[in-house]
Amino acid sequence: MMNIVKGSTALVMLVLSTLGSWYEGSELRNKPWEWEYSTFFSRVINGQVTGQADISSLDHFIYAAKFKPLFPILMVVSGIYLLTFLFSFAVKHDRKKLKVYYGSLGMGLLLASCFSNNSPTVGLEIISWLLITVGLFNIGGFLWIGRRTRDI
């Protein structure tokens, strides 16, 4: 029963924070001076952004992360928690598989932090530090589970 509550809470938090990020990021459509800097996905898809119709919905998340990072941070934290919860539930606490998961997730988060590192905006700088911190905690989990696996 407790697992259902934990998983449902994480899923609801992920959905609500995603909707909040998407809504706050939609402000990008009304700021043409920001299109050059915050429309990465639109430029990949369309080539050049000349109007509001050219802006991809994915770019809303980039804009929200740069300038209004509360919901994107909640989205990242709840998403990572939900992934970890589902994976640990699926493998039934098999320490070796959890060790691989934590190591892979930690390295992936550290790699992802490289994309937002050295950003001129406070929002992406905060998200970068969040990814580094959570990535290091996951690598710590990898090392701790590895130590515990040898003890068994």
Dump pLDDT digits (tens) for 3-28.
Answer: 899 999 999 999 999 999 999 999 99
107 touches 135 (CB < 8 A) = yes
How confident is residue 149, by pLDDT bands cut at 50, 70 and 90?
A: low
What pLDDT does 64 receive?
Answer: 94
What pLDDT does 92 receive?
Answer: 81
Q: 69: which 2 tokens? A: 């990072």
Q: 123: which 2 tokens? A: 């929002």
Q: Average pLDDT over the chain, rounded to whole?
A: 89
Among all chains, which residue has been given the structure tokens 């998961």?
Answer: 101
What pLDDT does 144 receive?
Answer: 84
The tens digit of pLDDT for each residue in 85-127 reads: 999 888 887 888 888 899 999 999 999 998 877 778 889 899 9
- What number is the average pLDDT over the span 116-143? 88
CA distance 105 to 84: 9
* pLDDT above 90 (res 61): yes
